[in-house]
């Protein structure tokens, strides 16, 4: 008890806050009162060393806590990243357009594309499943990507026919 003011000043200097020093002093008291053992020959230096170690442990824990909380805040979405109703509607419209474009693809192209992009099947497995070569799968996928990127206003069957094997490509392409 006679070392309490000294320990409080030491902890306040190390921790930078009187309130934090009081909390640490309480922890120090609990640790000392729970100690088993004999007599300490130099109790004041012993308590000062314990207080210094406790302050160091608290600073390290606070730094880790701050880093953890900072990392957590860094990965949280910002307000502009939240979808507003307009973005939700626009996104749903784009998704519906993409599904419609995929539905317009020739059957083999659509099958290779969906197996690769949605079911994440390797190209070799797709080739075995469809009874074609890996090179043929690569060509189907390349044509599928071109098909999806095309925005020339040509509708449905005319556009899909262009990508069927053996179809003559028109001069406007």
Q: Contact, 11 vs 55, CB < 8 A?
A: yes
Residues 13-39 have a mean pLDDT of 86
pTM of the model: 0.44
With cut-offs at 50, 70 and 90, classify the pLDDT of residue 169.
very low
Whole-angstrom distance, CA of residue 40 vs CA of residue 122: 71
- Where b means 16+ CB within 10 Å and e means fewer, 70-95 reads eeeeeeeeeeeeeeeeeeeeeeeeee
Q: What is the pLDDT of residues 62-116, one digit of tens each?
A: 889 888 888 888 788 777 777 778 888 988 999 899 899 999 999 999 999 999 9
């Amino acid at each position: 008890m006679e070392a309490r003011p000294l320990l409080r000043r030491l902890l306040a200097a190390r921790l930078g806050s009187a309130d934090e020093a009081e909390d640490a002093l309480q922890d120090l008291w609990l640790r000392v009162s729970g100690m088993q053992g004999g007599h300490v020959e130099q109790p004041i230096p012993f308590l000062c060393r314990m207080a210094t170690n406790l302050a160091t442990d608290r600073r390290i824990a606070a730094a880790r806590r701050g880093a953890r909380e900072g990392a957590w805040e860094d990965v949280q979405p910002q307000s502009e990243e939240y979808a507003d109703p307009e973005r939700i509607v626009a996104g749903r419209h784009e998704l519906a357009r993409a599904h419609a474009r995929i539905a317009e693809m020739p059957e083999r192209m659509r099958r290779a594309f969906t197996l690769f992009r949605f079911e994440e099947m390797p190209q070799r497995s797709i080739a075995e499943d469809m009874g074609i070569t890996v090179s043929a799968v690569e060509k189907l996928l390349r044509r599928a990507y071109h098909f999806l990127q095309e925005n020339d206003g040509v509708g449905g069957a005319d556009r899909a026919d262009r990508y069927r094997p053996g179809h003559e490509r028109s001069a406007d392409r």
